[in-house]
Structure 1
Amino acid sequence: MSTFGKLFRVTTYGESHCPSVGAIIDGCPPGLVLEAKDIQVQLNRRRPGQSNLTTPRNEKDAVILQSGTERGVTLGTPIGLLVKNEDQRPHDYTETDLFPRPSHADYTYLAKYGIKASSGGGRSSARETIGRVAAGAIAEKYLKQAFGVEIVAFVSSVGKIQLPMSKTAAPGEEDHDDDEALTPEFRELLNTVTREQVDADSIRCPHPETAERMIQRILRAKEANDSIGGTVTCVIRKVPAGLGEPVFDKFEATLAHAMLSIPATKAFEIGSGFKGTEIPGSKHNDPFVRRADGSLGTSTNWSGGVQGGITNAEDIYFRVAFKSPATISQAQGTVKYDGSAGELAARGRHDPCVVPRAVPIVEAMAAIVVLDQLLQQNARKTAASLLPPVTTLPPTMVLPPQ
Structure 2
Amino acid sequence: MSPSVLPDGDPVPADGALPHGVVADPEVDFGVYLHVPFCRVRCGYCDFNTYTAEELRGERREDYPDSVSREIAMATRVLGEHRRPAQTVFFGGGTPTLLPSGSLARMLGDVRDAFGIAPGAEITVEANPDTVSVESLQELADAGVTRVSIGMQSAVPHVLAALDRTHDPANVAHAVAAARAVGLAVSLDLIYGAPGESIEDWRTSVSTALALEPDHLSAYALIIEDGTQLARRIRRGEVPAPDDDLQADMYELVDDAAAAAGFDWYEVSNWARTPSQRSRHNLAYWRGTDWWGFGPGAHSHVAGVRWWNVKHPAAYAQRLAQDVSPAAAREVPDAEARTLERILLQSRIREGLSMQAIPPVRRSAVAGLIADGLIEGASAIGGRIVLTRRGRLLADAVVRALTE
Q: Judge same fold: TM > 0.5, yes or no.
A: no
Larger relative contact order, structure 1 or 2 (CA cutoff 8 Å, min sep 6): 1
Who wins on radius of gyration, i.e. which is larger? 1
TM category (shorter chain) comes to under 0.3
- Higher helix fraction (1 or 2): 2
* TM-score normalised according to structure 1 size: 0.24
